Structure formats: C-alpha cells, structure tokens
Amino acid sequence: KLKPEPNVSLIAGNAMKPDALASCMAGSMASIFVSCTYGEGEMPEMIAKAWEFFESSDDALFADKNLKYAVFGLCSSRYDVGDQYNRAARRFDRRLEELGGQRMVEVGAGDDQNSEGYRGALDPWLEQLMPKLFATGAAKTSLLDPPEPLFKINLAPSSHSNTNFRPLPPCYHFISLESFKSCVSEGYERPAGVFNFSLKDTGLIYKCGDHLAILPRNPTESVDSILALYGETLQGSQLLTIQTMDVNADCPFPKVLSIRELLTQYLDLCGRPSRQFFKLMFMFARGGETRKRLRSLFERDSKDSISQEEFDTYTDQNTYADVLCEFAKEALPPFEYLLSMIPLNTPRFYSIASSPLDGEEKLELLVVKNMWNDSAKKARVGLNTKYMFEQSKPGDLFAVQIHTGILQPPEEEEDLDTPVIMLGLGAGLAPFVGFLQHRQGQMKKLRDEALAEGSEPKKLGPATLYFGTRHRAHDYYLEDYFQECLKDGSLTAIYTAFSRDGLSPSGKKQYIYNAITENPLGFAKGLELDKAPEESKSNKARCYYCGSANGIPEAIQDSMMEALVSKDGLAMRRERAKEYMDLLVNIDKRFHSECF
Ligand SMILES: Cc1cc2nc3c(=O)[nH]c(=O)nc-3n(C[C@H](O)[C@H](O)[C@H](O)COP(=O)(O)OP(=O)(O)OC[C@H]3O[C@@H](n4cnc5c(N)ncnc54)[C@H](O)[C@@H]3O)c2cc1C
C-alpha cells in the first residue's frame, strides 16, 4: 500500500554471478538476506558461491556505497550444537558489516521450534525493519479485503474416479514400499521398525550416509473433514489445474490433480495454524462473535488479543483442518484461498539405513513413530510417521528426494583402515546401520579383489558402535544384526546404554556418553590409541554422532576426554588427551554430528 510502490526483487542466492549481485546490492535502496544454515553450521549450497565471493572480497567492497542491509536466518534450536545455531545468517551479517555495509536491524533468528515457527521471530523483526526502510512507516495491511489469492484453480470438466491416480509432485520421485519389519517388542509403546523400499526402475542412486526426504501424506480423516465443508460445490475426485499468480515462482503442484490429492499430498492440513491464517479467516468471517474470536487469535498485544500462552495452547491442540471445521459456518474461505492460506506440506528427512553396495537396488530406513501428548493430554502422532506406521502398506508409493547427508563413512581406498566410532541415540542409530552394511559390502569387495589377485584381503579399520535407547527388553533395535556384524568383523565392538533400565554397574545413569567412561579401554581401542604409534591410525580416526542435540555431542566429547585420562584406560596425561581431542574435534574436524 506504499506510494510510490517500492520496486522489490526477490533473488535466489545462486541466480546471479556474485560480482553482479554485489553491484546490484550497491545500487539498491536496501538488501535483505534470508538464509538457513546447512549441515554442521555451513552456508547452504545455494549461497555458497556468493559467500565465497564476499568472504574473499576486499574489506572496502561496500565502503562509500551506502549499502543498507538486514539478515534473517531460518534455523532450529534443535540443532543447537556448539555455535551452529543460525550460524550462516550470523556470519553473513558480520561479514557485510566488515565490508562497509550499514546494518539496519540485528540479525533475526526464525526458530523452527518456536510455537509459531519462523514467523514467531519474523513478525517482530519486520516491525523493527519496516520503519528503517520506509521513513513514513509501513502502512498496515487492510483487514477489509482479502488479498488476491496466490493460485488460480480451474476445475476440469470430467472427474477422475480412479482413486489410485497419483501425479508425481514436481521435483520428486516415486519409490514403492516393499516391506516393514518391527524392531521393538510386541505392543511396545514407541513403535519403530525398518521400512524397505525398492529402487528398481526408478533411476535413483544414493551414497552411504545420504538422506531420504519424504513428502508426507495427510490422514484420510483430515482430508474428508475438509471435503465435507465444501461438499455442496466440490467433490474429491474432481480434477483441477492450478496456475500460480506469481510469474516468477515455480508452481509446486503437478499440472493436473484431483481435489482429494491436493488435500492429501500438498496442503499441511495437520500443521499448527499461524496468526496469518487467522487473519485471513477473519477477512472472510461474518458473525460478530466469530470475528471477535478470530481477531483475538491474530492480533498480538492488543486489547482484543489473547495472551501468547492461550494462543500457544489453542494452536497446540488445533490444526489448520480443526480451525477450518470450527469456524466453517461463518468464516469458510473460498476453496481457492486454501492454497494461499495453508502452507505446503514439507518433506521429512531420514538417514538412509542401508548401503548401495548391498547391490539389491533397495533403500532402507529405520524409523521411530513420533508420538506426544498435547497440552490437553491428548495423544498425537507426527504426520509422516502416522502415515508410515498406520496407513501405508507394501506397494504404496512414496514421493521422495535424495539429499547429500552430513555423515559419510571413509570411502577412499587409502582411508579404509580408518578407525571409526559411531554413536547413535534412538533413531540416530539409522545412519550407522547403513555404515555397517557398507562395511560388509567393502569387505566383500576387498575379499573378491584379493581372491582375483591371489593375495590376502586388506583389512578395514576397527568400527565401534555406541547405541543409546530406553529398554534392553523392548527397543534394542536390530540386536541380531549387530551380533552378525560382530561375527563377520564389520563391527568390532558394541556398547549400549538403556536409559530406563536403572543405573549401570558403576552406579551411573545409562546415558550414551556414560557408556564411554564406563569402558575407557574399549573406547581407546576403538581409536587404536592402545597400539604403538607406527601401527596406529588413531590420527585419522573419525567419530560420528547422530541423535537429538540437547548438549549431547558436547557431553560425549567431555566423556571422551575423561575416558582418555581414566586410570582404567590408558591413563593419558590430561594435556596429551586435550591435544588429541583438540586435533580430532577442532583442527581436523573429524568429529561429525547430525542432530534432529
Ligand atoms: C537429517 C535428519 C535425519 C533424520 N533421520 C531420521 C531417522 O533416520 N529416523 C527417524 O525416525 N527420524 C529421523 N529424523 C526425524 C524425521 O525427519 C521426522 O522429524 C520424524 O519422523 C517426525 O516426523 P513426523 O512427520 O511424524 O512428525 P511431525 O508432524 O513433523 O512432528 C514433529 C514435531 O512437531 C511437533 N508438532 C507437530 N505438529 C504439531 C501440532 N499440530 N501441534 C503441536 N506440536 C506439533 C511435535 O513436537 C512433534 O514432535 C531425521 C531428521 C533429520 C532432520
């Protein structure tokens, strides 16, 4: 609503050559950066080139250029390991200042774990930024007319009654589920198991340690509840085409799809509603009471708004689908608007728990069903794991992508003798199941090569696995497989920590990091620190942790230090142990963690 309308360009981080981007920034009224943080605190691939350019540029790049800038980071406090939280955005922000830019507002951190998602931080950040951008202050959006919808829907004349009609989501591949095998005792409260997918004829390939991203599907009951609201005008089997009104944006939907498929695969019906959603509902609302209630849900800190705590409680207990049903009588938006009001389903990531060396054109995941109680003590299940555990069956198609993972096992021939320590907590065991399958494949390859040459097969370095879970009797996942690996030598030693089974023999809580100090000699052997220097590969040993963050990678490093100096182990001098840990963690960066 500003006059004259500001000319805003939205530029993808890799859309321009970095020097052209810098000139564009220098010639603009202001530049606003939005970036996530990748992997272990790195820049996302999309802005890697731009970052390289800014990092290596002369410090006077923007001196006298009057560059005004602001940076907003998209991050998750769940990955808060070391200084990784929002690191890419913070580094960008600092570097632009060094280059002579003028920071308009402090760097923002849109935390995925906030009850309002990234918007929880974005809205207040924008409130600070807008007056700096526009001297007159940013005009508030009108509450009278809903904005134009972002997508236009055209209903096709005929309906498609074949319920199996599943167009491929853009940028995804379909893979089919072959089988599922539970990994927990029967009736155990936290189901977990291995999902086996076939890659035959898909053309998909992956590397050990990669991730599978799955686009989740909404439960039938949520989809039906929305279809019932629009039942007079629309039917689930009706086909439609969707056109995006933003000419610069890619359309996230397939060319043709049914209404049921749109609601099942694309719109995040079971997500947590945002203030923006309530605001748009308000614009369609008629009755005074309904308008009052909706206003109280989108306004912050006004006389009409409810407290943040009440807002959080309400959105914790109600999904987009629930809210639409609750207010349908007096505030049902035209169907077309749902595509602008409800965010798109986002893929869920899984560490691949198999290896391509297996040679069977399959891909396996080790998945734990995500269950929690909401603030009304109602049992809830995560969207994707609900679908996987409760609705999927062999032959079902999953829309997936393969992404490069953070944890990669030693692969080069000269690195195969590297000692490897793997620490998996709960579902964090998954990548290491893949590592072990990979080692079995590598061993077979070395044996075959040796046989052909008539020589002795080369040996892999030792592999030690630490596994933290709850109960030995219920969720010691894949115990039989690990025994098999110990026998064939792909696994050298395994140490377990069952956190709900009481204390360890030495009276400590059974946590994964305590399993290291419980057996300090075993740990030192895992790194080959017990061997004579000329025989030991301890200086290239790698440690991998996968599981929740919560300070665990740091606690593991502390335990490693204690194990090295322990009298029951090698009784290393503290200084020497510190040196070793510093080399491993900070200098060579051979301690990798993947937290979720
Ligand atoms: C790199 C990476 C690798 C991973 N590897 C694995 C793996 O190998 N195995 C594995 O099991 N998992 C893995 N995960 C976790 C996995 O991606 C999913 O997060 C997990 O399966 C849960 O997905 P979901 O759709 O079932 O739950 P979601 O629906 O995404 O729920 C996630 C959380 O959000 C909250 N939440 C969601 N909806 C609501 C709501 N309406 N109200 C209140 N709170 C809500 C809850 O706290 C819930 O715990 C990995 C994650 C990452 C990032």
Taking only the tens place, the pLDDT of each residue in 296-331 is 999 988 888 899 999 999 999 999 999 999 999 999
405, 352 Cβ separation under 8 angstroms: yes
Residue nearest to atom 37 of ligand 1 (CA): 382
Give me ligand 1 centre to Cα 87, in Å: 22
List residues bridging with 379 in a β-sheet: 373
Give me ligand 1 centre to Cα 151, in Å: 29
Mean pLDDT, range 379-407, rounded to an integer:
96
Please state the atom number of ligand 1 nearest to the C-alpha of residue 594: 1
364, 194 Cβ separation under 8 angstroms: yes
Mean pLDDT, range 358-368, rounded to an integer:
93
**Location of each CATH 3.40.50.80 domain in the chain:** 413-595
pLDDT at 580: 96
233 vs 178, 238, 323, 335, 474, CA distance in Å? 39, 10, 20, 10, 50
Give me ligand 1 centre to Cα 165, in Å: 28
d(C-alpha 433, C-alpha 353), whole Å: 5
Virtual CA dihedral for 240, 245, 247, 248, nearest 10 degrees? -100
Q: Which residues contact 318 (CB under 8 A, 6 or more apart)?
A: 273, 326
Alpha helices in 413-478 (DSSP H): 430-453, 472-475
Give me ligand 1 centre to Cα 382, in Å: 6
Please state the atom number of ligand 1 nearest to the C-alpha of residue 430: 8
Residue 159: pLDDT band by 50, 70, 90 thresholds? low
Please state the atom number of ligand 1 nearest to the C-alpha of residue 349: 17
More confident residue, 171 or 505: 171
Please state the atom number of ligand 1 nearest to the C-alpha of residue 319: 41
| Amino acid letter, 456 | E
Q: Hey, which CATH number is domain 413-595, 3.90.226.10, 1.10.10.10, 3.40.50.300, 3.40.50.80?
A: 3.40.50.80
What ipTM, to 2 d.p.? Answer: 0.95
511 vs 135, 321, 455, 468, 521, CA distance in Å? 56, 40, 44, 6, 18
More confident residue, 142 or 267: 267
Q: Which CATH architecture has domain 18-133?
A: 3-Layer(aba) Sandwich (3.40)
Give me ligand 1 centre to Cα 325, in Å: 25
345, two tokens: 């389903």
List b or e across 506-533, with b for residues whose CB sees 16 or more CB atoms inside 10 angstroms. eeeebbbbbbbbbbbebbbbbbbbeeee
Q: Which residue has the tokens 């062999």?
A: 394
Using the predicted structure, report yes or no on whether residue 137 has a pLDDT greater than 60.
Answer: no
Q: Which residues line ligand 1 (CB under 6 A)?
A: 211, 216, 272, 316, 319, 348-351, 365-368, 370, 372, 374, 382-385, 427, 430, 594, 596
Please state the atom number of ligand 1 nearest to the C-alpha of residue 318: 41
93 DSSP assignment: H
Rg, Å, the chain Cα set: 27
Instruction: Name the residue of 319, 345, 349 whose CB sits within 8 Å of the most ligand 1 atoms, as the mutation to test its pocket.
Output: 349
More confident residue, 134 or 481: 481
Give me ligand 1 centre to Cα 231, in Å: 32
266, two tokens: 């694309």
Instruction: Name the residue of 385, 475, 592 whose CB sits within 8 Å of the most ligand 1 atoms, as the mutation to test its pocket.
Output: 385
pLDDT at 160: 61
496, 479 Cβ separation under 8 angstroms: no
Give me ligand 1 centre to Cα 348, in Å: 7
Please state the atom number of ligand 1 nearest to the C-alpha of residue 353: 8
User: 403: part of which helix (H) or strand (E)?
Assistant: strand 397-403
Please state the atom number of ligand 1 nearest to the C-alpha of residue 352: 8
Using the predicted structure, report yes or no on whether residue 29 has a pLDDT greater than 60.
Answer: yes
**Location of each CATH 3.40.50.360 domain in the chain:** 18-133
Using the predicted structure, report yes or no on whether residue 4 has a pLDDT greater than 70.
Answer: no
Q: What is the pLDDT of residues 458-471, one digit of tens each?
A: 999 999 999 999 99
Residues present in the chain in total: 596
pLDDT at 141: 63
Q: What is the pLDDT of residues 407-460, one digit of tens each?
A: 999 999 999 999 999 999 999 999 999 999 999 999 999 999 999 999 999 999
**Mean pLDDT over the full length of the chain:** 92
Instruction: Name the residue of 370, 391, 404, 546 whose CB sits within 8 Å of the most ligand 1 atoms, as the mutation to test its pocket.
Output: 370
Give me ligand 1 centre to Cα 596, in Å: 8
Q: What is the pLDDT of residues 42-87, one digit of tens each?
A: 898 889 999 999 999 999 899 888 899 999 999 988 776 777 889 9
Residue nearest to atom 13 of ligand 1 (CA): 350
pLDDT at 303: 87
